[in-house]
Amino acid sequence: MTMDKNFPVTGFSSLAIHAGHEQDPNYAHLTPIYASSTYVFDDAEQGMRRFSGQEEGYIYSRWGNPTMAEAENKIAAMETFGLDFEVKGILHSSGMAAISTLLLATLKSGDKILSHFSLYGGTQEILNRILPSLGIEPIIVDLRDLSLAEETLKANPGIRMIYLETPANPTIQCVDIEELTLLGKKYGALVACDNTFATPYLQQPFRFGVDFVVHSTTKFLNGHGTIIGGIFLGKDIEFMKTQATKIHRLLGGNSNSFDAFLLVNGMKTLEVRMDRHCHNAMEVAGFLDGHEAVAKVNYNGLASHPDYFTASKQMRHPGAMMSIELKGGLKSGITMMNKLKLCTRTVSLGTCDTLLCHPASMTHAGVPKEQREKYGITDGLIRMSIGMENIQDILSDLDQALKQ
Ligand SMILES: *Cc1c(COP(=O)(O)O)cnc(C)c1O
Tens-place pLDDT, residues 100-154? 999 999 999 999 999 998 899 899 999 999 999 999 999 999 999 999 999 999 9
Q: Which atom, in ligand 1's list, is nearest to the CA of 196?
A: 13
State the first-to-last Cα distance of the chain, in angstroms, to the nearest integer: 55
Q: What is the DSSP code (8-state) at residue 192?
A: E
Closest by CA to 79, choosing from 173, 212, 178, 190, is 212
Compute, in angstroms, the gap from residue 23 CA to the centroid of ligand 1: 32
Give residue ranges with CB within 6 A of ligand 1: 94-96, 120, 122-123, 165, 194, 196-197, 216, 218-219, 228, 230
Per-residue pLDDT band at 169 (split at 50, 70, 90): confident
Q: Residue 260: its pLDDT value, please?
A: 98
- What's the Cα-to-Cα distance from 120 to each of 147, 216, 231, 363, rounded to whole Å? 24, 11, 16, 12
Average pLDDT over residues 221-240: 98
Instruction: Determine the residue of 166, 196, 203 to mutate for testing ligand 1's pocket, defined as the one with the most ligand atoms within 8 A of the Cβ atom.
Output: 196
Distance (Å, rounded) from C-alpha 104 to C-alpha 99? 9
Closest by CA to 281, choosing from 198, 359, 376, 388, is 388
The total of other beta-carbon atoms located within 10 Å of residue 265's CB is 16
Q: Which atom, in ligand 1's list, is nearest to the CA of 169?
A: 13
Question: 3-class SS at 342?
Answer: coil
Compute, in angstroms, the gap from residue 217 CA to the centroid of ligand 1: 8
Q: Domains in the chain, ordered, with CATH?
A: 12-267 (3.40.640.10), 271-402 (3.90.1150.10)
Examine the pLDDT at 1 and tell me if it is beyond 80: no
Q: How are beta strands 190-194 and 159-165 bridged, if at all? A: parallel
Question: 3-class SS at 139?
Answer: strand
Average pLDDT over residues 4-8: 85
Q: For 144, left (φ over 0), alpha (ψ -120 to 50), or beta? A: alpha
Q: What is the DSSP code (8-state) at residue 36?
A: -
| Preceding amide of 167 cis, omega within 30 | yes
pTM: 0.97
Compute, in angstroms, the gap from residue 120 CA to the centroid of ligand 1: 7
Compute, in angstroms, the gap from residue 375 CA to the centroid of ligand 1: 17
